[in-house]
């Protein structure tokens, strides 16, 4: 234990410090949120080194942070959080946002109970599979012209609502109300447009999913009542992002920003953290493009939710409003935001990178919808398809993490390792024996996404709850899952 635990210094049961002495050139220490039993997985890959690498970024304040779902990624580890001070030369790095810009999750409630869906669950999973496009290169049923595509990039989810694919209440319950201002479609490459063409309302591949769940545990009755949630109730979770459109933008700027390192005299130990000052032309161009991808993703999830509502209407012969299919919230977890914090007694505008991390504003935050002002921001944490998912809320204490928390379970095995571990097995059959029906569009997807490929999300959520940076409200168990 002591050998692999080194060089981390234990702060308390849920936090560990990576000192600046770990690597010469670190501007700040690292802080890892984890219990001891989760640390071994952290030490097995390069994630800890990536926490240290991020501490080299110009303008970084406080710490280079890692959530308990941390694992190795491109540039910043997945589960990484970094904030830079814009007025002090703070940078923005595409590697600190990720390839699937604004990959995120939304959670819908329904008025259905488990007994209402039990006899129709197979019909429900088959209809979802048939009616919601999923998988690599999937094309959506919602077709738009090139001119309309550009409107999506500036309007985000409001474009879909304007076309009848949702309600204004959906926008109120979406982070940033489903749109970041300042997106500039004119600087997006033709290649990015091509890759994003006809992908609105499509699920994508890999770990993206639609999951029908039942609430099997209530931790905070009062907060659950604000959400109109109770034990035995059916919820739906949707996980998707900006598809090939966002991937292309990250790919282009990660490559092009390499030149900015020399131009601005920036030294980082890993070129995957290529960056530029937020105020530079290069930084501003990436930000305007990132916002295009973020808005694309919010529109995509809004369209996906519309298709899911249509499926429920078809199966249960009621309108989605009569079924009580209201959006609880939509959160982003691959994005950079501009937020104000008190740093050393001064109110500073920071560029907060959340890479595989979820925003978790506490009660009273001015950016929250009125209905959530008293309880804090809803935080949606999916698990793997064979275990549980969670709904939490943000806390005031989360200010120490720039109001950030975990985003999921976090991988334990690479996709290649997972496929090898599952060779000769039927993951779908194993899950069905546990009462979970699963359909996937891609060959090998179920093996790549097998439950054992992930940490137990219960352990991950236990850390963020115990550390006080978000608070558990409900636990949901999967009934059926569509995987891309």
**Which positions are catalytic?**
407
Phi-psi region of 132 (alpha: psi -120 to 50; beta: other; left: phi over 0): beta
For the chain, give percent helix, strand, coil, nearest 5: 40, 25, 35
Q: How far is the CA of 95 from the CAs of 62, 103, 147, 296, 428, in angstroms?
A: 20, 14, 30, 19, 34
Q: Which residues are CB-contacts of 289 (< 8 A; sequence separation ≥ 6)?
A: 183, 184, 187, 188, 192, 249, 253
Nearest residue to 32 via CA among 66, 83, 64: 66
With residue 415 as reference, give the H or E element that holds it. Answer: helix 415-421
H, E, C per residue of 361-401: CCCCCCCCCHHHCCCCCEEEECCCCCCCEEEEEECHHHHHH
Q: Provide the pairing of β-strand 64-71 with 30-33.
A: parallel
Beta strands in 58-145 (DSSP E): 64-71, 78-85, 91-92, 104-113
Confirm if 315 and 110 have CB atoms less than 8 A apart.
no
Confirm if 178 and 302 have CB atoms less than 8 A apart.
yes
Q: Which residues are CB-contacts of 145 (< 8 A; sequence separation ≥ 6)?
A: none
Question: Helix, strand or coil for residue 97?
Answer: coil
Q: Alpha carbon 98 to chain centroid distance?
A: 10
Q: Cα–Cα distance between 39 and 127 in angstroms, integer? A: 41
DSSP tag of 320:
T
Confirm if 213 and 466 have CB atoms less than 8 A apart.
no
With residue 259 as reference, give the H or E element that holds it. Answer: helix 258-263
């Amino acid at each position: 234990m002591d050998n692999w635990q080194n060089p981390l210094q234990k702060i308390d049961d849920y936090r560990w410090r990576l000192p600046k002495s770990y690597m010469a050139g670190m501007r700040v220490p690292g802080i890892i949120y984890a219990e001891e039993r989760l640390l071994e997985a952290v030490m097995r890959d390069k994630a800890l080194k990536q926490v240290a690498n991020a501490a080299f970024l110009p303008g970084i304040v406080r710490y280079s942070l890692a959530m308990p779902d941390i694992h190795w990624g491109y540039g910043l580890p997945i589960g990484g959080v970094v904030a830079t001070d814009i007025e002090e030369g703070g940078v923005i790095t595409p590697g600190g946002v990720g390839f699937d810009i604004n990959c995120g999750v939304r959670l819908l409630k329904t008025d259905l109970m488990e007994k209402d869906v039990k006899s129709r669950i197979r019909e429900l999973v088959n209809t979802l599979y048939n009616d919601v496009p999923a998988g690599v290169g999937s094309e959506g049923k919602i077709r738009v012209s090139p001119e309309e595509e550009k409107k999506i990039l500036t309007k985000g989810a409001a474009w879909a609502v304007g076309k009848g694919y949702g309600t204004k209440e959906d926008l109120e319950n979406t982070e940033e109300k489903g749109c970041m201002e300042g997106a500039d479609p004119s600087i997006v490459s033709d290649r990015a447009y091509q890759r994003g063409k006809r992908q609105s309302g499509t699920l994508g591949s890999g770990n993206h999913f639609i999951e029908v769940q039942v609430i099997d545990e209530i931790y905070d009755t009062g907060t659950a009542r604000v959400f109109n949630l109770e034990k035995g109730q059916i919820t739906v979770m949707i996980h998707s992002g900006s598809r090939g459109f966002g991937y292309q933008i990250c790919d282009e700027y990660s490559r092009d920003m390499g030149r900015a390192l020399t131009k601005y005299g920036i030294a980082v130990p890993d070129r995957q953290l290529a960056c530029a000052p937020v105020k530079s032309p290069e930084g501003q161009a990436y930000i305007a493009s990132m916002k295009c991808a973020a808005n694309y993703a919010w529109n995509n999830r809004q369209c996906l939710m519309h298709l899911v509502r249509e499926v429920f209407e078809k199966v249960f012969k009621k309108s989605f409003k009569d079924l009580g299919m209201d959006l609880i919230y939509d959160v982003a977890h691959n994005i950079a935001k501009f937020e104000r914090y008190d740093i050393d007694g001064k109110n500073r505008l920071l560029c907060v990178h959340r890479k595989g991390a979820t925003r978790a504003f506490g009660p009273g935050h001015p950016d929250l919808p009125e209905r959530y002002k008293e309880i804090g921001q809803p935080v949606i944490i999916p698990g793997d398809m064979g275990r549980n998912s969670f709904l939490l809320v943000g806390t005031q204490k989360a200010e120490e993490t720039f109001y950030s928390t975990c985003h999921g379970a976090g991988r334990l095995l690479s996709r290649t390792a997972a496929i090898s571990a599952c060779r000769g097995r039927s993951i779908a059959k194993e899950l069905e024996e546990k009462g979970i029906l699963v359909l996937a569009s891609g060959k090998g997807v179920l093996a790549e996404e097998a439950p054992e490929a992930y940490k137990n999300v219960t352990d991950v959520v236990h850390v963020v709850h115990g550390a006080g940076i978000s608070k558990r409200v409900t636990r949901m168990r999967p009934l059926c899952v569509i995987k891309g």
